[in-house]
Amino acid sequence: MIVVIDYKAGNLTSVVKALRYLLGEERTAREVVVTQSPDVVRGADKVVLPGVGHFQSTQLLEDLGLTEAVRESIAKGAWFLGICVGLQWLFEGSTEAPGTPGLGTLAGMCEHFPVLYKDVELKSPHVGWNSLEQIRPNSRLLRGVADGSFVYFTHSWRAPVVQATAAVTNYGGAFTAAAERENVMGVQFHPEKSAAIGLQVFKNFVEL
């Protein structure tokens, strides 16, 4: 069972749509569950945390008891995929909402893009198609995705490059575009909006 967590933060519809496209109508009806229930999350084989928007919105996860449920689910070995804010939530937190801690599975804080990079003004948000670089060859999430492949981003805060980083993207310096540590995975870009490359990422996750 693939559980997609609904915490009222953005494009849940698009994520489910991509899963439906890959799995077909019947398997989707059977295997994909959209939920806010911690118990359902505890029973999942795979958990997807979508999200686009403000880090503050992840506070609802704590309020609904979902943070603990995700923690337990990951500890039991369920595969986890965080998207956009869902990736950032894997870190300790974000300067976007200092009072709202992240899951803390990955070390470090998410920060706003710098206003200036190499003395040139940097526009933000970072919106559009940018390339994945330094893809870790053994990444399961990015299997079949070549260095230089383009994916779609839209965000103003970014996660630091850490040991679990599976691919970086450069915009005002390098940031984590994908992270992967054992069963915990996350992508800053939107696979549901990244055409064939995005669908490949979902396919990799679904087939784990």
User: From CA 135, how far away is CA 148, in angstroms rounded?
Assistant: 9
What is the nearest approach in angstroms of other proteins to the Cβ of residue 192? 7
**65, 68, 152, 160: which one binds other proteins (CB under 8 A):** 152
Amino acid, res. 133: E
Residues annotated as part of the active site: 84, 190, 192
Ramachandran sector of residue 138 (left: φ over 0; alpha: ψ -120 to 50; beta: rest): alpha
Given a contact cutoff of 8 angstroms between Cβ atoms, the answer to whether 96 and 157 are in contact is yes
What is the nearest approach in angstroms of other proteins to the Cβ of residue 43? 27
What is the nearest approach in angstroms of other proteins to the Cβ of residue 35? 18
Which range, of 5-13, 58-66, 70-78, 94-102, touches other proteins by CB under 8 A?
5-13
Cα dist from 77 to 68, 156, 181, whole Å:
14, 31, 12
Closest residue by Cα to residue 50 from 20, 93, 5? 5
| 93/172 with CB nearer other proteins | 172
- Written as six digits, the tokens of 82 are 């965080």
Helix (H) or strand (E) holding 104: none
Q: Binding-site residue total for other proteins (CB under 8 A)?
A: 34
Given a contact cutoff of 8 angstroms between Cβ atoms, the answer to whether 32 and 19 are in contact is yes
What is the nearest approach in angstroms of other proteins to the Cβ of residue 77? 30
| 11/100 with CB nearer other proteins | 11
**29, 76, 170, 208: which one binds other proteins (CB under 8 A):** 170
* 3-class DSSP state of 95: coil
Residues 120-139 that bind other proteins (CB under 8 A): 123-131
Q: Which residues bind other proteins (CB under 8 A)?
A: 9-11, 13-14, 17-18, 21, 52-54, 123-131, 150, 152, 154-155, 170-171, 190, 192-196, 198-199
